[in-house]
Structure 1
């Protein structure tokens, strides 16, 4: 089974690219972020025509997450627990039927947090606290769990082209990275780092200043696995091809294969 995460940076703008990639890569489960569309405008029919069941949680212009699955989606739960007043469409969790049981997948679009020193950074850290608390509860189920998405966190210096250039950014602040480590310390595995030790592999390249052709990127899209999922991990990598297309997202997919 192949599970992918892809921040599409607007479904309306990238639908053609997304459909082409789905046909070519043929992932079994896809977690999308930044769909930037309301639920009533989600292109459900076009994606279902490609053989996917869909669940989505959107809002106008901003945010938006979705889960596509070739397997039945038994349950879809929108919103991250812990703050009933938070109306940002940043979290969607689904239970998916697989041979011999079920797996749980979440599509995550973690807050950016910039600029630091503002309520936006405080919101980011509070959101991460809620994610840590919820992940702790999900791990009690002792089932295959994949927390997939755009975490807006650069875990280590080797995950960006120039740590000094990112020193003042919320994605690379010590507090953000500490929260990410706290999440991993619950017993989760970073799928990419479980399969790769080489530095300077990226999932995001800004549109500005020739970042893509110069490979000035950062690794902020992650697949975090419960022990039950990590035990079945066979491979994980970054698919750079979609970032080189015409009018691409500034992110590219990350994928992992499992022996379920």
Structure 2
């Protein structure tokens, strides 16, 4: 493994954290490798890896100098964190933080992983899509958000680290996060109850890193494969970095890198990178 820089405190060390729903790490393996070579971020959080842990293509990323933390399942879901230095206190799922009484069936799907890097606790999430407003999966999503709030509250109560909560939230929080907000109330990822659930979570002390630097609409992180979504810029901003106050103040940029979405057979999402 390549040698790595000495760990420093976040007060004196710039670091970049990227979030990217890759929609299958094995399908997008070469694209992620190439992106990391050109964008050697300190931490990369992946969603929808879609592979069980023992089949994850670890070696190419370890050869780039990354430590891998993986929580996957076959064909669906799955999250992972790559870091340039070993992470501390890595846990998977809700149960290890809030206990089985709250989590019930929610950890059957591999959607949550967290660890501490350079004094910052990073929580990587793949929030359920919800399928259709009013459906069983929709109500599952709303219940999932309630457990997420208790999970994050517990973390904040029991740790001294600043918090970066990132990932695919499957919610466009504002109308300007959608290319066309008409009929949004009946559209999954923009319904009032979904937005209310996410806003309720943010009340525990989290702010949108991207909106610190850009308050305009027209910036998206996901484009539907259908109907030429990317080519027509018919996108949604549903991939986010939410930061606690001190970390929010330390943030010096947060960008959406659309270059990977231009590749042949890309993920329908693209990386979002915050820098402190």
**Which TM-score tier does this pair reach, normalised by the shorter chain?**
over 0.9
**Offset of 1:84 from its aligned partner?**
3.8
1:11 is paired with a residue of what secondary structure? coil
Ranges in structure 1 where 5+ consecutive residues have no aligned partner: none
Counterpart Cα distance in 1 of 2:103 and 2:244: 24
Take 1:27 and 1:36, find their aligned partners in 2: how far apart are those partners?
22
In the superposition, the TM-score normalised over structure 1's length comes to 0.95
91, 100, 125: which is aligned to 1:77?
91
Moved more, 230-239 or 163-172: 163-172
How does 1:1-260 map onto structure 2 within 5 Å? 1-81=15-95, 82-86=102-106, 87-96=108-117, 98=118, 102-140=119-157, 141-164=159-182, 166-258=184-276
SS state of the match for residue 5, structure 1? strand
Task: Give the superposition deviation at 1:166.
Answer: 3.8
Matches of 1:231 and 1:161 in 2, distance apart? 29
Q: Is the 8 A contact 1:31 1:107 kept in 2?
A: yes
For 1:227 and 1:143, the matched residues in 2 are separated by 11
Q: Residue 117 of structure 1: SS of its match in structure 2?
A: coil
Q: CA separation in 1, counterparts of 2:52 and 2:184? A: 33
**Equivalent residues of 1:114, 1:169 under 8 A apart:** no
Whether the 8 Å CA contact 2:52–2:73 is kept in 1: the answer is yes
Deviations 1:80-125 (A, max 9, x none): 23314330000011122x2xxx221111000001122221011100
Residue 75 of structure 1: CA displacement?
A: 2.4
Deviations 1:128-168 (A, max 9, x none): 01111111122222422111100000100000001115432
How many residue pairs get aligned? The number is 254
Measured after TM superposition, the shift of residue 230 of structure 1 is: 1.2
What's the C-alpha RMSD, in Å, of the aligned pairs? 1.1
Q: Give the number of the structure whose residues are more often strand, by fraction.
A: 1
**Runs of 4+ with deviation above 6 angstroms:** none
